[in-house]
Chain A
Amino acid sequence: MTALERSAWVVVCERQDLVAGGGVCALLGNEQVALFYLPQEDCEVYALANRDPIGKANVLSRGIVGDIGGQLVVASPLYKQHFSLESGVCLEDERIRIPVYAVRLDGDSVLLAQP
Chain B
Amino acid sequence: MATRRIVVVGNGMVGHHFLDTLVGAKTGDLITVIGEEPRPAYDRVHLSEVFSGRSPEELAMGSRKMYSDWGVEAHFGDPVVRIERAAKRVVTGSGRTFAYDRLVLATGSYPFVPPVPGADNERCLTYRTIDDLGAIKAAAKGSSIGVVVGGGLLGLECANALQNLGLETHVVEFAPGLMGVQLDDGGSSMLRSKIEALGVRVHTGMNTQAITGGSACALQMEFADGTRLDTDMIVFSAGIRPQDALARDAELAVGERGGIVIDYKCKTSDSDIFAIGECALFGGRIYGLVAPGYRMAEVVAGQLAGEAVTFQGADMSTKLKLLGVDVGSIGDAHCRTEGALSYVYSDGREACYKKLVTSADSSRLLGAVLVGDCSDYDTLLQYFLNDMALPADPQALILPASGDRPQLGVAALPATATICSCHNVTKGDVVACIDAGSVSLADVKSTTRASTGCGGCSAMLKNLFDDELTARGVTVDRSLCEHFSHTRQELYHLVMLGEIHSFEELLQKHGRGRGCEICKPAVASILAALWNDHVLDRRHVGLQDTNDNFLANMQKDGTYSVVPRVAGGEITPAKLSVLGAVASKYQLYTKITGGQRIDLFGARLEQLPAIWQELIDAGFETGHAYGKALRTVKSCVGSTWCRYGVQDSVGMAIRLENRYKGLRAPHKIKSGVSGCTRECAEAQSKDFGVIATENGWNLYVGGNGGMKPRHADLFAADLDDDTLIRYIDRFLMFYIRTADRLQRTSVWLDNLEGGIGYLRAVVIDDSLGLAAELEQQMAHIIGTYACEWRATLADPDKLKRFRQFVNSDESDSGVVFIQEREQIRPARPEERLRLVAVSE
Q: Mask for A17-61, Cβ within 8 A of B = 1, else 0?
A: 111111011110000100100100000000000010001111100
**Contact of B804 with A by CB under 8 A:** yes
Are A64 and B554 neighbours in the complex by a CB distance under 8 Å?
A: no
Q: How large is the interface on B (under 10, 10 to 19, 20 to 34, 35 or more residues)?
A: 35 or more
Residues of chain A lying within 8 A (CB to CB) of residue B452: 92
Cα A59 to Cα B814 with chains together (Å): 10
Per DSSP, are chain B's interface residues mostly helix, strand or loop, or mixed?
loop
Interface positions of B from 766 to 807, Cβ below 8 Å from A: 800-801, 804-807
Residues of chain B lying within 8 A (CB to CB) of residue A22: 541-542
Q: Mask for B224-259, Cβ within 8 A of A = 1, else 0?
A: 000000000000000000000000000000000000
**A62 contact from B70, B515, B546, B557, Cβ within 8 A:** B546
Are A19 and B482 neighbours in the complex by a CB distance under 8 Å?
A: no
B interface list, Cβ under 8 A from A: 66, 69-70, 452, 482-483, 513-517, 519-521, 538, 541-546, 549-550, 554, 556-558, 800-801, 804-808, 810, 812, 814, 829
Are B516 and A66 neighbours in the complex by a CB distance under 8 Å?
A: yes
**Contact of A65 with B by CB under 8 A:** yes
Are B516 and A27 neighbours in the complex by a CB distance under 8 Å?
A: no
Are B517 and A63 neighbours in the complex by a CB distance under 8 Å?
A: yes
- Of B514, B520, B545, B807, the most chain A CB neighbours within 10 A belong to B807
Are B805 and A57 neighbours in the complex by a CB distance under 8 Å?
A: no
Are B554 and A62 neighbours in the complex by a CB distance under 8 Å?
A: yes
Are B520 and A66 neighbours in the complex by a CB distance under 8 Å?
A: yes
Known pairs A27-B808, A35-B806; A64 contacts B516 (CB<8 A): yes
Are B546 and A32 neighbours in the complex by a CB distance under 8 Å?
A: no
Cβ distance A16 to chain B, nearest Cβ, rounded Å: 9
Are B513 and A67 neighbours in the complex by a CB distance under 8 Å?
A: yes
**Contact of A6 with B by CB under 8 A:** no
Residues of chain B lying within 8 A (CB to CB) of residue A27: 805, 807-808, 810
Cα A62 to Cα B557 with chains together (Å): 13
Residues of chain A lying within 8 A (CB to CB) of residue B550: 62
Are B806 and A77 neighbours in the complex by a CB distance under 8 Å?
A: no
Cα A72 to Cα B558 with chains together (Å): 23
> 21 interchain pairs (CB within 8 A)?
A12-B806, A12-B807, A13-B806, A18-B806, A21-B542, A22-B542, A24-B801, A26-B805, A26-B808, A51-B814, A55-B556, A57-B556, A59-B558, A64-B544, A66-B514, A67-B515, A69-B482, A70-B513, A77-B546, A78-B554, A78-B556
Known pairs A77-B546, A77-B549; A64 contacts B517 (CB<8 A): yes
Cβ distance B196 to chain A, nearest Cβ, rounded Å: 41
Residues of chain A lying within 8 A (CB to CB) of residue B513: 66-67, 70
A interface list, Cβ under 8 A from B: 12-13, 17-22, 24-27, 32, 35, 38, 51, 55-59, 62-70, 72-73, 75, 77-78, 80, 92, 95
Per DSSP, are chain A's interface residues mostly helix, strand or loop, or mixed?
strand
Residues of chain A lying within 8 A (CB to CB) of residue B70: 95
**B558 contact from A35, A58, A66, Cβ within 8 A:** A58
Are B805 and A59 neighbours in the complex by a CB distance under 8 Å?
A: no
Are A66 and B515 neighbours in the complex by a CB distance under 8 Å?
A: yes
- Of B482, B558, B810, B812, the most chain A CB neighbours within 10 A belong to B558
Residues of chain B lying within 8 A (CB to CB) of residue A65: 514, 542
Are A80 and B517 neighbours in the complex by a CB distance under 8 Å?
A: yes
Known pairs A25-B804, A27-B808, A92-B452; A64 contacts B521 (CB<8 A): yes
Residues of chain A lying within 8 A (CB to CB) of residue B805: 25-27, 32
Cα A21 to Cα B540 with chains together (Å): 9
CB closest chain-B residue, reference A33: B805
Cα A70 to Cα B483 with chains together (Å): 10
Cα A66 to Cα B808 with chains together (Å): 27
Residues of chain A lying within 8 A (CB to CB) of residue B543: 21, 64
Cβ distance B786 to chain A, nearest Cβ, rounded Å: 22
Besides A22-B542, A27-B807, A78-B554, 7 new A-B residue pairs in contact (Cβ under 8 A), listed by A number: A21-B541, A22-B541, A35-B806, A38-B514, A62-B554, A64-B521, A66-B515
Cβ distance A50 to chain B, nearest Cβ, rounded Å: 9
- Of B520, B806, B808, the most chain A CB neighbours within 10 A belong to B806
Are A58 and B554 neighbours in the complex by a CB distance under 8 Å?
A: no
Cα A24 to Cα B541 with chains together (Å): 12
Cα A47 to Cα B438 with chains together (Å): 34
Cα A62 to Cα B812 with chains together (Å): 13
Are A57 and B814 neighbours in the complex by a CB distance under 8 Å?
A: yes
Residues of chain A lying within 8 A (CB to CB) of residue B517: 63-64, 66, 75, 80
Are B542 and A78 neighbours in the complex by a CB distance under 8 Å?
A: no
Are B538 and A67 neighbours in the complex by a CB distance under 8 Å?
A: no
Are A24 and B806 neighbours in the complex by a CB distance under 8 Å?
A: yes
- Of B69, B557, B829, the most chain A CB neighbours within 10 A belong to B557
Cβ distance B536 to chain A, nearest Cβ, rounded Å: 10
Cβ distance B797 to chain A, nearest Cβ, rounded Å: 10
Are A95 and B66 neighbours in the complex by a CB distance under 8 Å?
A: yes
Are B556 and A62 neighbours in the complex by a CB distance under 8 Å?
A: no
Cα A4 to Cα B521 with chains together (Å): 45
